[in-house]
Structure 1
Amino acid sequence: MKTSVVICVYTEERWDDIREAVESVRAQRRAPHELILVVDHNPDLRLKLKHEYPDAIVVANAHDQGLSGGKNTGAEIATGDIVAYLDDDAVADPGWLEALEEGFQQPGTVGVGGRTSPLWATGRRPRWFPHEFDWTVGCSYTGMPARRARVRNVMGGNAAFRRDAVTGAGGFRSGIGRSVQGRKSRPLGCEETEFCIRLTQRSPDAVIWYEPAAVIGHKVSAQRSRFAYLRTRCYAEGLSKALVAASVGAGDGLSSERSYATRTLPLGVLRGLGAALRGDLAGLGRAGAIVVGLAWTTWGYVVGTVRLKLRGGAS
């Protein structure tokens, strides 16, 4: 089994982060077949990376600007059987690639995702920040399986897919995931959710696994540790969920979210309130953040759904 590792990059401002991500791939116990750096419409960064890493494959995003286009470019360039994606501001544990590859030994497996732990720039987790909302900073969250389990979708910054499955399903859809126009970006997501659902809809026997032994650390900037960012990210997630539901159907598009909203989040609120009663007043903040996060996500979904209906009516 040969695995091509793809890191999508876009700005020199993350130069140190990119270098750490690349070095973590080089330090894997099981070396990758190749390392591909896909640069998102930034010729200067591409030239700098070509000079810095002559042993890597450095290419420009050949599709629309954004993360989906970069991932599709990486899959098209790759020559391995498996394409593994790592965020440009993440650091993979030495056994990351080995654990991902082990998941593909299971019959019918088309995708495997790993556990992503937050690396807080502030030095520690803000006490008000609920574990249930770690997805807002690109990390694994309370409510996900504690051991290897079959899942609907994986998180895009720590995931691997069979290369022929990516290209055969038409790749990641532009317009759902995060894109950057100039220096501004709305923190959208869900390109990997929509892709995974489409992948299994296309091949009902296909299996996607969550493998918590495939661990990476994902850097969380001080700006993303603020309550204002959590609200913004939740609203953007709601907008993205509306696009996913319109693309693959609300039944599949919201199946995991229903359980999360009706089971995981109420339990999180109760835990926060219980902690507050035991003297941890930050528990009130965690409970409040869960309520606000759910409300903002729901509002984003409603707005996104109405917008799509209006566009459909206008056409």
Structure 2
Amino acid sequence: MTQVLHPHAHAAPRSTSARRADTLTVVVCAYTTERTADVAAALASLAGQTRRPDQVLLVVDHSPELLAWARATVGEDVTVLPSTGPRGLSGARNTGVAAATGDVVAFLDDDAAAEPDWAQQLMAAFAEDDVIGVGGGVEPAWPALRPSWFPPEFLWVVGCSYTGLPTTRAQIRNPIGANMAFRRDVFTAVGGFDTGMGRLGKDAAGCEETEFSIRAGAVPGEGRIVLEPAARVRHTVSTDRVARTYFRRRCLAEGRSKALVSGLAGAGAALSTERDYVRRTLPRGVLRGLGQTLRGDSSGAARAAMIVEGLGWTAAGYLSVRLRAALRPGRRASA
């Protein structure tokens, strides 16, 4: 019988002493036949690890065509599962967690490829008993040249590590969803990903890993989440995501998603990282872009302008949901 993970279930917190992190399950969630080449590359990267995963799960999110392709194509070392949750990334991830047997459950996006030592670097970070989650570095694989107007401070728009993140192992609030891992007992303690949040197909929503990480970190006695930049993956940036229209849409969706997290976890926790990002990282990025323009890089001003525009669209998305919630007291904000 498939275990159903309630997104907000709680159990008694467990001691962080002598926690095992010996075995690893990797979950790859996929939803469309348009990405079969990427899925194959992701699975091939797992097969080439210096520290092979003990279990690899490919969860297909409500696509009969993709499920048939996966069952006919992938090797015996990969278990193919249909998602048993609601349509969307959160439901697929929860299906993977329910089927996982490893002490650690890692998540790799279906359009990302792990570096050969990725699993080894992730597992090394769990050597400290109080580490409950680990995020890795996510490098963009651009379809051609990186757009000259695209500011590095906004690489999160394409699901990648951005300027402002730590460059050495450090504690963080939440990892990037394309490359993250948690101890399996954390899901037992706090439940799964909230199926009311997260991506559904090609939409630009997100933040389900943020909400989950805040929930996990709030349980007394659980532990901390760290970033290990050396655990690297390369994340494919599709051609549609290098357009300014996508940039704006993704920023707007991020703001809406952050508002939903604020409604669930409180603005203090939901925006703790973002406040420093807005106060420090973005102003430095604007000044850097303007300085580059003065030194002869004509694209510097465009990057500075996109930082301002990106912040504006993100703030607009956040405020639109919070205002809607204020006008409908007692009801959960909905994007």
TM-score range, shorter chain: over 0.9
Q: Which structure's residues are more often helix, by fraction?
A: 1
Query: Are residues 1:294 and 2:315 paired?
Result: no
- Whole-angstrom CA distance in 1 between matches of 2:115 and 2:50: 9
5 Å-filtered alignment, 1:300-311, equals 300-311=317-328
Match of 2:293 among 268, 273, 276: 276
Aligned length: 310
Deviation string, structure 1 residues 169-200 (Cα, Å, up to 9, x no partner)? 111001221113xxxx4301111011000001
Equivalent residue, structure 2, for 1:59 = 81
- Whole-angstrom CA distance in 2 between matches of 1:166 and 1:290: 36
Alpha carbons 2:132, 2:222 under 8 Å: kept: no
Secondary structure at 2:27 match in 1:
strand
Match of 2:194 among 157, 166, 173: 173
Equivalent residue, structure 1, for 2:103 = 81
Alpha carbons 2:325, 2:331 under 8 Å: kept: no
TM-score by length of 1: 0.96
- Whole-angstrom CA distance in 2 between matches of 1:6 and 1:312: 38
Match of 1:70 among 52, 72, 92: 92
Deviation string, structure 1 residues 68-121 (Cα, Å, up to 9, x no partner)? 011111000011111010000001000000000001001211100000000001
Equivalent residue, structure 2, for 1:265 = 282
Q: CA deviation at 1:204?
A: 5.3
- Whole-angstrom CA distance in 2 between matches of 1:134 and 1:175: 25
TM-score by length of 2: 0.90
5 Å-filtered alignment, 1:202-213, equals 202-203=219-220, 205-213=222-230
Instruction: Structure 1 unaligned segments of length 5 or more: list them.
Output: none
Alpha carbons 2:216, 2:222 under 8 Å: kept: no
Residue type at the aligned position of 2:158: V
RMSD: 1.2
- Whole-angstrom CA distance in 1 between matches of 2:105 and 2:93: 9
Match of 1:142 among 158, 163, 167: 163
- List 4+ stretches of structure 1 deviating above 4 A: none
5 Å-filtered alignment, 1:1-315, equals 1-55=22-76, 56-121=78-143, 123-180=144-201, 185-203=202-220, 205-313=222-330
- Whole-angstrom CA distance in 2 between matches of 1:32 and 1:188: 29
Could you say if the C-alpha distance between residues 298 and 130 of structure 1 is closer, same or farther in structure 2, counting changes exceeding 3 Å? same
Alpha carbons 2:251, 2:314 under 8 Å: kept: yes
Between stretches 47-56 and 74-83, larger displacement belongs to: 47-56
Secondary structure at 2:329 match in 1:
helix
Alpha carbons 1:83, 1:160 under 8 Å: kept: yes
- Whole-angstrom CA distance in 1 between matches of 2:71 and 2:295: 56
Q: CA deviation at 1:44?
A: 2.2
Identity %: 49
